[in-house]
Structures are given as structure tokens and as C-alpha cells.
Amino acid sequence: MVQFVGVPQMRRWVSTVGAESIIGSLMEAVREDLQHWRRFDKTARIASHSPVGVIELMPTSDGAQYAFKYVNGHPSNPARGLQTVTAFGVLSDVASGYPLLVSEMTILTALRTAATSGVAARALARPDSQTLALIGAGSQAEFQALGMRAALGIDTVAVWDTDPAAIEKVVRNLHGSGLRVRAATSAADAVAGADVVTTCTADKTNATVLTADMIEPGMHLNAIGGDCPGKTELDAAILERADLVAVEFEEQTRIEGEIQQMPASFPVTALWDVLNGEAAGRARAHDVTVFDSVGFAMEDFSALKYVRAAVTGTDFVEEIDIVADPSDPKDLFSLVAADARVGA
């Protein structure tokens, strides 16, 4: 039998434990796996592009377990009442090849993306950061805000989106969270005076959500929405202005991240090297740091492993029969032959 966490179970688990608490724990899980990146099989994800979006498979293994995520990115979906990003994933046992867990990953991706932003911000942002500018108020937004509080203890959020209803939704959803949330009047208004800026917009184009004149000394940017060829958020001048640009898996980020706008020689730092102390992070309080996030398979692996450990033995998980497993391993036919005889 395979463990299964569907949307109802994931919703109940997150509502019971709390999104921020889970993001905090996931930060530890993601950080630990990133620190052991040499153990992992690393490949850029396999992407199938269409004019309106992308469908991707994101596989990795640490030699003991294997995981993959199926995920799409369709920025025009919300106009049709659909999510931009949906996902599900599988965790398997390498020794037998048998799947252990099948899980919904639309909610889990939002949690793990917030956790990854948190890991990067804890390594790169000023530790005294208090204010967050959130540019893009869609599905990822509230998770990103809670993740920045879990990572840095930020207490104030200024939120901007080209869709006023999305801003109102974030203000409403974060009401009662203890965060001071302000609806900004423009991207520049949101960013002014912020310690951390997270861009999580969706548009299948080379957009310029932020320009270099908005960037103040000491800021840390999490650029999470530019994650596909031809889909970026930052003015290239911001990358030139930055003192440090950190990436997940450089080979993938050069194709998919903000740095696709830059020459191949543009210097970047691997986040896992910063976490391991093998590369320097922020050197000075007034440095500008950027985490050019695209989402990497190891983060999904960490999330699936964490979910499995957290829900095993609870009613947040059920078992499903999706592996045909006859008692005689050579006699698969008996499974259907027996049924056929019964029906005869």
C-alpha cells in the first residue's frame, strides 16, 4: 500500500499545525538537504513549454529515496478561474523502487517555496530586517509573508499587485496574523524603505516588475516569479547593481532564472555553498543581495520527506492501492486471471 495525502488531508494538516509552523520546520528540512547537496542526483527539470505555460517534471534522489514533482505554470489560468501553479509528487524507496507516498503538492509547493525563500533570506538578508515588500499578491503571497516572519521575524508587510482585488485578499487573509499589512499604491511605494523584497508575480514575459532606482542599500530580494525561459521580473540593472546573486542549481537557473538576461560569465553564488560556509554571503550591511529562485527538485524532495514523517500514523494520510503486487512476484497474470475466472 502507498501512503496518500490528498487535498483534504493536506488542508486539514496545515490548518491544524499552522502554515507558519510548517514553513519553519520545512526551512530546517530544506536547509539540511541543501547542505548535503553532494549526496543528490542533480538534473535541471524537464520542461514542456507551450505558448501559454509550462508543464515540468522535477526529479532527484539522495540514493536512499527518490522523488519527483509534476508541476505546471500557466500565468493566464487565473483569468479562467484556474490556479497558475498546480502540482503533485511522489516519494519512492530506491532499494525496491516502490512508491512510498503520493501527495498533493499545490499547497505543499507554496509552503516549500516560502521555506526556501526563508532559508535564503536567513543566510543573506540583514538579521535586523523588519519590513517586507511583497510584489505579487496571488497564491504564493501569504505563504511568502509568513515564511519571512518565520525566517527573520519581520513584522510589517507592504503589498502591491496590479490587481487591486488580489491586494485586498492578502490584507484580508493576513488580518489577525499579527503582521502589520499595508496596501501599497505602486511597486515603488511598496519597496520604499523595505528590508526584504519578494517578487512573486506571474506573467509569461520578460517583465520589469522592479527597476534599479527602487533598490536601496541593504535590501535583500527574493525573486521567485521569474522561473522559466522568457519569464523574468527584475530589471537587469538590479542584477548588475547587486553585490551577490545566489542561485539554487546554477545550470537550471541560467536557463530559467533572472540571470537568463545576463551573459554566461555573470557571477553567481550557489546558495548551498553559502549555507555550508564554502562561499561568502552578505559581507556588509549596505550590500544588496538577490536570491534568484526558480525552485529546485531537492526542495520538493525535502518537502515530501518531511510530510511523510509528519503525517505517518495520523489521520492526515490514507493508504491507496496503486502498486500491483501479487504474492508470487512472477505471477502478475494471476491478479487478472483470478478476476476473469470469477467473472466467467
Q: Which residues are the active-site residues?
A: 227
Of 9, 72, 198, 201, the one binding ligand NAD (CB under 6 A) is: 201
Give the neighbor-by-neighbor strand order of the sheet with 2-5: 46-50, 53-61, 65-73, 87-93, 99-104, 2-5, 318-320
Cβ contact 91:66 at 8 Å: yes
C-beta closer to ligand NAD: residue 120 or 154: 120
Residue 115: its H or E element: helix 106-124
Closest listed residue to residue 65, CA positions, set 32, 101, 35: 101
C-beta closer to ligand NAD: residue 166 or 174: 166
List the beta bridge partners of residue 245.
Answer: 290
Q: Does 101 bind ligand NAD (CB under 6 A)?
A: no
Of 59, 89, 118, 138, the one binding ligand NAD (CB under 6 A) is: 138
Of 294, 298, 307, 310, the one binding ligand NAD (CB under 6 A) is: 294
Count of CB atoms situated within 10 Å of the CB of 329: 7
Give the pairing of strands 206-210 and 232-234.
parallel
User: The C-alpha cell of 52 is what?
Assistant: 501559454
C-beta closer to ligand NAD: residue 3 or 289: 289
The type of residue at 253 is T
Q: Does 166 bind ligand NAD (CB under 6 A)?
A: yes
Q: Does 177 bind ligand NAD (CB under 6 A)?
A: no
Give the pairing of strands 87-93 and 65-73.
antiparallel
- Binding letters toward ligand NAD, positions 218-257, x by CB under 6 A: ------xx-x------------------------------
* 232: Cα separation from own chain's centroid: 16
Q: Does 84 bind ligand NAD (CB under 6 A)?
A: yes
Cβ contact 139:110 at 8 Å: yes
Of 162, 173, 206, 276, the one binding ligand NAD (CB under 6 A) is: 162
Of 22, 67, 133, 200, the one binding ligand NAD (CB under 6 A) is: 200
Q: Does 209 bind ligand NAD (CB under 6 A)?
A: yes
Binding site for ligand NAD (CB under 6 A): 73, 75, 78, 84-85, 109, 113, 135-140, 160-163, 166, 200-203, 207, 209, 224-225, 227, 293-295
